Amino acid sequence: MKIKFLLLLLVTSFTGFSQSINDYKAVIVPLKYEFLKSDNQYRLATMTKSNLIKAGFQAYYSNEELPGDIDRCQLLNIDAVRDNGFLVTKLYFEFKDCYGKVIYTSEVGKSKEKDYEVAYRESLEMAFESIKKLHYKYSGKIVGGSPRINTAQVATTTVATPTQNSAVSVDVSDPNLLYAQPTENGYQLIDKTPKVVMKLLKTSRPDSFIAIKDGVQGSLNAKDNQWFFEYYQNDKLISEKVSVKF
């Protein structure tokens, strides 16, 4: 009786979980995973996208232009995570929504090959076996999150900063508007592509972040009801206005 109950619970959990991933319309593939040194090293980005398409997903590289009918919160972001192992290369995938929440984690792919390229490729293929077993099919469900932006309509709203203690004016029709996705230590700001434009690290002040953009480190500060990216260039302080929706 207990075995039947556990099997029923397992099937129910799997069904509910696979349905949740079916609610997302496409997957964004980064050109470079954190453990790699260069874009598409060992062609892992190419292999990831190819395997996603084989598994039934729409897949786009992070630098590709998306169809206009896809909202950013209809997208999942896939990330490959390397799991350290003694004499074994371990790799698994995480699918995250537009707020950085993990929706699905694949099984771990393993390889004992010493050559990194061969090991990563074998691990990737093995990890994707569990993804293919999801039998993904887009449900057509509208996922809650960010509303589509009508660029023909100019609207200005006031939204709270992450700490809820100061207001910053946001023009949602701004073509350069960036969206904040929570990370472990702060936020990452993405554009409509979506592409990560800037990374933010929390500080002791709620209206100021350590900011990194294109390899340049500075700070993102709230001033005069706006956000500004400030950094030094040739000993001169540069201040750039940034439109952000948290």
Q: How far apart are CA 224 and CA 94, in angstroms?
A: 39
Q: Which two tokens stand for residue 149?
A: 């932006």
CATH number among 2.30.29, 2.40.128, 3.10.260, 3.40.50, domain 21-132: 3.40.50
Burial of 140 (0-12, 13-18, 19+ CB in 10 A): exposed
Strands 178-182 and 186-190: antiparallel
pLDDT of residue 143: 64
pLDDT of residue 167: 58
pLDDT of residue 224: 86
- Phi and psi (nearest 5°) for 117? -60, -45
Running along the chain, 246 residues long, what does each successive block of 10 average in pLDDT?
Answer: 45 44 93 93 96 96 84 90 88 90 93 94 96 93 50 36 54 84 87 87 89 91 91 90 89
The domain spans of the chain are 21-132, 156-245
Rounded-to-10 torsion of CA 37, 38, 42, 43: 150
